[in-house]
Amino acid sequence: MDKKKIRYFETQLTTQRNALLGLVERTEDYGREADREVSQDPADKASNSYTKELLFSQSTNERNTLRLVEEAMDRLSDGSYGECINCGDEISAKRLEAIPWAPYCIKCQELMEQGLLVEKEG
For 105-115, how does the pLDDT look when each residue is reduced to its tens digit (9 = 90+)?
999 999 999 99
Q: Which of 82, 60, 57 is nearest to 72 (CA)?
A: 82
Task: Give the integer Cα–Cα distance in Å for 114 and 97.
Answer: 23
Task: Output the pTM of the full model.
Answer: 0.75
Express each pLDDT in 7-55 by its tens digit.
Answer: 999 999 999 999 998 888 887 777 667 666 666 677 777 777 777 677 7
Strand partners, 90: 83
Pick the CATH number of 3-113 from 3.40.50.300, 2.30.110.10, 1.20.120.910, 3.40.50.720: 1.20.120.910
For 90, phi and psi rounded to 5 degrees?
-70, 135
CA–CA separation, 41 and 105 (whole Å)? 51
Domain boundaries, the chain: 3-113
